[in-house]
Amino acid sequence: MDAETEAAFVAHVKDLERLAIDGDHHAVKSLACMALLVEGWRPTDPGGGGEIIDLMPYLKLAA
């Protein structure tokens, strides 16, 4: 990833974090989806069956 793309990505994630802290549920869901992808989940995975990822920190921020 080039430096410009990486900077734009980091800025976007920081915006999502700020919005999540402010209670934006769409930002919370976006961060949760990113966490799933980072942990190796793929949309084609049947029924999960993998490691459970704790998304409560993001949900608590939105509460």
Q: CA dihedral defined by 6, 9, 14, 16, rounded to 10 degrees?
A: -170
What's the pLDDT score for residue 23? Answer: 94
For residue 38, the SS3 value is helix
Q: CA dihedral defined by 31, 7, 2, 36, rounded to 10 degrees?
A: -10
Domain spans of the chain? 3-62
pLDDT tens digits for 23-54?
Answer: 999 999 999 988 888 888 776 666 655 566 67
Tokens read off for 4? 């410009």
Q: End-to-end distance of the chain based on CA atoms, in angstroms?
A: 34
pLDDT tens digits for 6-27?
Answer: 999 999 999 999 999 999 999 9
